[in-house]
DNA sequence: CGACTCCGGATTGTCAACAATCCTGTTGAC
DNA sequence: GTCAACAGGATTGTTGACAATCCGGAGTCG
């Protein structure tokens, strides 16, 4: 009885597509946005009791949310010493991007082509949302659309574990993306890149897509390098 | 003040090299071994209160340990429905191994060669421990030495994020390794493979090391395939 | 004058009890 | 006989209070 081997999918993040009414998810999302939009700065300390008061919730919930944030690498837990917002130095960001490029190239190499029309349509729709929100200046929504585009694109590689690894490292470098989106020129170029990616996908140009995705990561990486030179 | 940009290293697991006296780490390790050595079977349910009684500890500690186990993918949490031991079906294991191979090849491609003598010595020492524990039939220690070998080898790739990703996926497939170690022929072959890897490393044979590492993963994968055919 | 020790405040780690949720076996109607 | 609603028990989610730990500064000794 009950020998049904139900598959255990790799759970990338807590982003279930449903109601999301759990209090700890609400706190998690709020803190995540605070970090990504710069309201909480790197190396800034997060005190559990303050957050519990701010969100009108028990400290246990805050704790669970912080655990989740630590899991995806946005904050760091020091045992008995609390939680601080993660602060990657430039060389670490270079290393992180190196891994991301490796994973993305692997995903593109394994992606079934030609891509189904449904995928192209979905990506096109997401990128339209991206442009619309950008025009309205809703940076928060732009970031979400940007994430959705990459999640959908690399989720189509056919290997859930690979897709999960890509998303995981995307989250880790989310701080950098957040910065890049804030610069209008970079955001506009990003939108154009996305369109080009859809075109490569439509014409089954695997090599071109790989190159495009790798170059797509360069501008924000370059911005980090420049900032590093300015503030050594 | 305190603008020192202390590096935030990617924290792969809670395996700090120190005392490890935290109760939740003790429970975590104990449960981890139970899963890896087969004392807890796939799809088996883990009830918090039972574990709390067994380890003479509060339910909170069990909860934290289970969270950690879920984080590395050995158990699965279903909200409001408890946790069960993870159960990957054969096709998922194939996908997991595909990602592992991709990551390992990337690590080998970036590994600084020639390898420092200290690394060769460390790997040799670990592999000796492997053989000794295998001879004594201490499977638990064999598994630990096996993990240490791979952690040390791929940790030398120079990119902590890449090393962390490799270790993370190693943990996810730990169940498969545990099975392979239990088969004497496979365990012996594994030891020989490790020696060959050290040799390739010593002579800076990058391509040979890559091939060797990929082939090194095949036997346990093949065992999974066979088991799948036997029990469909 | 510098280094060491010890104490106080702040913060995290843990516990036991309470509330919400889910699964199971039973009952009743169609 | 089958299906749906319903209670009962079991299990997880959450809370507030208590204990353990760590950081910083006052005080003391060399």
B57 touches strand C (CB under 7 A): yes
Q: What is the mean pLDDT of residues A198-216?
A: 96
Q: How far apart are CA B57 and CA A217, in angstroms?
A: 48
Q: What is the mean pLDDT of residues B91-111?
A: 96
Is the pLDDT reported for residue B76 higher than 90?
Answer: yes
Cα dihedral A58, A62, A67, A72 sign = positive
Question: In the 47-66 stretch of chain B, whose C-beta falls under 7 Å of nucleic acid strand D?
Answer: 47-49, 59-60, 63
**B150 touches B143 (CB < 8 A):** no
Lowest mean pLDDT: which of A54-58, A149-153, A221-225, B73-77?
A: A221-225
Strands A75-78 and B45-46, sheet pairing: unpaired
A47 touches strand C (CB under 7 A): yes
Q: Report CA(B81)–C1'(C23) in Å, whole number.
A: 9
pLDDT attached to residue B231 = 63
- CA-nearest residue to B99 within chain A is A162
pTM over 0.85: yes
CB of B80 less than 8 A from some CB of A = no
A229 touches strand D (CB under 7 A): no
Which positions ≥6 away from A110 have C-beta within 8 Å?
A157, A158, A159, A162, B98
B80 touches strand C (CB under 7 A): yes
Question: Chain A neighbours among B 164-203 (CB < 8 Å)?
Answer: 165, 169, 172
Name the token pair of A205: 């140009």
Q: Nearest-5° angle of CA A48, CA B59, CA A25?
A: 45
Nearest to A105 by CA among A225, A227, A229, A217: A217
pLDDT digits (tens, 9 = 90+) for A187-199: 899 999 999 999 9
Q: Nearest-5° angle of CA A41, CA A92, CA B97?
A: 120
> Per-residue DSSP letters for A204-227?
T-HHHHHHHHHHHHHHHHHHHHHH
- CA-nearest residue to A160 within chain B is B95
> What percent of chain B clears pLDDT 90, i.e. is strictly above it?
65
pLDDT digits (tens, 9 = 90+) for A13-37: 333 333 446 788 889 999 998 888 8
- Shortest CB distance from B10 goes to which of A22, A43, A73? A73
| Phi, psi dihedrals of residue A85, rounded to the nearest 5° | -65, 135
Chain mean position to CA A76: 17
CB of B31 less than 8 A from some CB of A = no
More confident residue, B8 or B30: B30
- CA-nearest residue to A75 within chain B is B8
């Amino acid at each position: 009885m009950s020998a049904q081997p139900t598959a255990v999918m790799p759970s990338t993040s807590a982003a279930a597509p449903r109601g999301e009414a759990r209090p700890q998810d609400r706190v998690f999302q709020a803190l995540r946005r605070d970090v990504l939009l710069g309201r909480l700065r790197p190396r800034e300390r997060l005190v559990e009791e303050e957050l519990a008061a701010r969100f009108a919730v028990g400290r246990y919930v805050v704790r669970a949310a912080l655990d989740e944030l630590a899991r995806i690498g946005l904050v760091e837990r020091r045992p008995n010493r609390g939680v601080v917002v993660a602060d990657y130095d430039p060389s670490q960001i270079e290393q992180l991007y190196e891994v991301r490029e490796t994973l993305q190239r692997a995903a593109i190499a394994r992606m079934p082509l030609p891509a189904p029309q449904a995928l192209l349509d979905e990506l096109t729709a997401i990128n339209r949302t991206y442009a619309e929100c950008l025009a309205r200046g809703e940076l928060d929504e732009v970031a979400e659309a940007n994430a959705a585009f990459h999640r959908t694109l690399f989720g189509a590689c056919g290997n859930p574990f690979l897709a999960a690894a890509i998303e995981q490292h995307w989250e880790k470098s989310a701080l950098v993306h957040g910065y890049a989106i804030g610069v209008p020129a970079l955001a506009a170029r990003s939108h154009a890149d996305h369109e080009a990616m859809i075109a490569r996908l439509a014409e089954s140009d695997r090599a071109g897509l790989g190159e495009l995705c790798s170059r797509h990561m360069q501008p924000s990486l370059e911005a980090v390098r420049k900032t590093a030179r300015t503030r050594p």
